[in-house]
Amino acid sequence: MPREGSPFTGLGPVFVKELSDHLNSTRMMVLTLFVIVFGALPVGFTLQEIRTVTASDQFLFLRIFTVEPERMPLSFVVALNFMIPLMAIGLGFDSVNSEFNRRTLSRVLSQPLYRDALLLGKFLGGLATLAVALTALFLIVFGAGLLLLGLPPRGPEVARGVAFLLVAIAYGGVWLAVAMLFSVIFRSTATSALCALGLWLFFFILWPMIASAITTGFTPTQFRSVDEVLTLEQFSSALARLSPGTLFGEAVLGLLNPETKAFGYFANLVMAQTRGMIPGTPLPLDQSLLLIWPQITGLIAGMIVLFAIAYIVFQREEVRA
Amino acid sequence: MSDNVIEARGLLKLYGTTPAVDAIDLSIRRGEIFGLLGPNGAGKTTTILMLLGLTETSGGSVDVLGFDPVRQPLEVKRRVGYLPDAVGFYDHLTARENLLYIARLLDIPRRETNARILEALKSVQLADVVDKRVATYSRGMRQRLGIAEIVMKRAEVAILDEPTSGLDPHATFELLEMIRGLKKAGVAVLISSHLLDRVQSVCDRVALFNRGKIALMGTVVELANKVLGAGHPILVEAGGIDVPAVLRGIEGMQQVVPEGVGAWKVVADREIRATVAKRIVAAGGSLTRLAELQPSLEEVYTRYFEEARHAA
């Protein structure tokens, strides 16, 4: 039977409330502090190193994000790759089940709004919070770069930086959707937090090992052609890309390292040979975007699919205790 | 427009193949207080959720203020106030902020919002704690805040699920007063409860739920007549005479049962208090008390379920 009225009735108030709750919460302060500390350390070290570099570099400013400092085996983007999921999970793991446990859910749902608006409002509220925090972090790093390098970023660098920020927000959205899915499935907030964190650890620690083990299983004893090598590399990349962290890592690599022309060692070699591209020369921004388009699409699609699953589960849930 | 604000016909809810609510008919009139009574798990809350469109029906039809909760839940929820069992509020927000969120969801014009929130909180005597966080509220205050939400909403129907459970007698009394206040404002009130004697005092009509079915429906007196048998029970306290002997032979009197020392319960099929008084006085007895015994819902309830158990 069709239902009447817009599914977005009440979306605005839910969004505003979620955003203000997040921004006022102690949890958000702790998470932001956490991310800033983790982000500031590599940036600080990197800046010290970059200042001593005398060779001319077209994209010096972007190196702040990507260079791995000698004193710390962690670049800013790698730190973010690790930290953004934690932040998103922190924001989303209790978004629905806490309403249930506080017994506010049935009261709110007895107001004129559909469950659609509640879930979407919560998701968008969380995403906006993430966006605010990441933008602040991004601006801090940019500002530190300006101050310490004494060198303004050029137009293409700013454009790549902004694109990087957007990809980071999309990446956060994926993990936010994961956390919200668990918050819909489990009534206990502790269980949903554990599951989301478990998945995070799985993708960061176990999945690379599993993927490489599977790839090893498919490796022939002797390669007969370059094509075979390439196919195997593509297979291993495809496995790794099931992890959103890999997608984010590649997208960021393509954006912040304009020299990137393909992902994977052999793929780069083949690229250079067959298309006559010279290794080490930068791509224009549009070509870089084209290169990472599948990764971006993958992240956004993942976010939508996870949200859709959460939506379906939430629609079927009983309101009563 | 009909006089019924809620009209349910053959309302059915199945969990698997077990009916939680088994084809009930229910109608609630404008401006009355209606009690849904019955043991826990009898289907009261499920019925309420179906009336609000918060859970899907498995069959039957519902009409709430002319709208169908299944197809037009937004229209129903705009006009019906709901106080859930053990209501929760956002503890980190103040009463005003909690109501403000609901006001935004209801799309109350911004100019009116503040006045309506204050007015609602004043009507439940929470005006002096408007800006205190709800975390500091007692249970009774939370329930009152829930009522304030309904007042602010200007609902035409209020549905209260176990509003008095867990409250102390004083808080219960205050809450029931507020429920009467809602009725005075023209709101039809539907109360679900298993606390009979407290709810009895405010309800115009009640429905007794048993295993997903409505076992009995009507005013408390009607139910008492049906279950306990027709009759006007009165309590007589008198001394100095043999009361059963004096009263013997009064027309319509059915039985005289001793109720402690110097007190008797007299049951008749009509009003006989005047005759009883005359006889006792004429016989030279000292009449100290002559009162009509209100049928207690508790008694009806216990008796009914005893009989239901025996029948099963």
Average confidence (pLDDT) over A187-213? 94
Scanning chain B, the segments in alpha helix (DSSP H) are: 44-52, 73-79, 95-106, 110-123, 139-153, 169-184, 196-200, 220-228, 243-247, 273-282, 297-311
Is B53 within 8 Å of B17 (Cβ atoms)?
A: no
Rounded to a whole number of angstroms, the CA Rg of chain A reads 22
- pLDDT tens figures, A4-22: 888 888 999 999 999 999 9
Answering whether pTM is above 0.90, one says no
The CA distance from B198 to B191, in Å, is 11
Which residues in chain B have Cβ-Cβ distances shorter than 8 Å to A3? 70-73
Q: How high is the pLDDT of residue B230?
A: 64
Contact A104 B77 (CB under 8 A): no
Say whether pLDDT at A65 is over 60. yes
Is B220 within 8 Å of B232 (Cβ atoms)?
A: no
Instruction: Work out how many domains chain A is built from and give that number.
Output: 1
Contact A110 B149 (CB under 8 A): no
Residue A273, domain extent: 11-316
Contact B71 A3 (CB under 8 A): yes
* pLDDT by 10s per residue, chain B, length 312: 458 899 999 999 998 888 999 989 999 999 999 999 888 888 899 999 999 989 889 999 999 999 999 999 999 999 999 999 888 999 999 999 999 999 999 999 999 999 999 999 999 999 999 999 999 999 999 999 999 999 999 999 999 999 988 888 899 999 999 999 999 999 999 999 888 777 788 899 999 888 889 988 988 888 877 877 767 788 888 888 888 888 888 888 888 888 888 888 888 877 888 888 888 888 888 888 888 877 777 778 888 878 877 876
Contact A112 B106 (CB under 8 A): yes
Which residues in chain A have Cβ-Cβ distances shorter than 8 Å to B85? 321
Express as a percent the part of chain A with pLDDT over 70.
96
**Distance (Å) from the alpha carbon of A193 to chain B's nearest alpha carbon:** 21
Please give the DSSP secondary-structure letter assigned to residue A317: S
Residue A6 counted as domain residue: no
Q: How high is the pLDDT of residue A227?
A: 81
Which residues in chain A have Cβ-Cβ distances shorter than 8 Å to B113? none
Is B59 within 8 Å of B10 (Cβ atoms)?
A: yes
Which residues in chain B have Cβ-Cβ distances shorter than 8 Å to A320? 45-46, 49, 55
Q: Which residue among A5, A10, A103 places its CB closest to the CB of B84? A: A103
3-state secondary structure of B270: coil
Is B45 within 8 Å of B161 (Cβ atoms)?
A: yes
B89 CB neighbour count, 10 Å cutoff: 26
Contact B70 A3 (CB under 8 A): yes
Is B70 within 8 Å of B62 (Cβ atoms)?
A: yes
- Residues recorded for chain B: 312
B172 vs A: CB within 8 A:
no
Contact A103 B80 (CB under 8 A): no
Residue A116 counted as domain residue: yes
Residue A321 counted as domain residue: no
Say whether pLDDT at A278 is over 80. no
| Residues 6+ away with beta carbon under 8 Å from A130 | A84, A87, A88, A91, A169, A172, A173, A176
A60-99: burial string, b at 16+ Cβ within 10 Å, e else: bbbbbbbbebeeeebbbbbbbbebbbbbbbbbbbbbbbeb
The CA distance from A299 to A304, in Å, is 9
Q: Which residue among A1, A110, A112 places its CB closest to the CB of B70? A: A1
Pairing of strands B205-210, B18-29: unpaired
The residues that bridge with B206 in the sheet, in sequence order, are: B35, B218
**Residue with token string 């699919």:** A305
Smallest CA–CA distance from A3 into chain B, residue: B71
* Distance spanning both ends of chain B, measured CA to CA: 42
Q: Which residue among A13, A110, A320 places its CB closest to the CB of B45? A: A320
* CA distances in angstroms from B109 to B105, B106, B112, listed in the order given: 11, 9, 6
Contact B88 A104 (CB under 8 A): yes
Q: What domains can you pick out in chain B, each with its CATH number?
A: 4-218 (3.40.50.300), 226-297 (3.30.70.100)
Is A134 within 8 Å of A38 (Cβ atoms)?
A: no
Residue A3 counted as domain residue: no
Residue A1 counted as domain residue: no
B162 vs A: CB within 8 A:
no
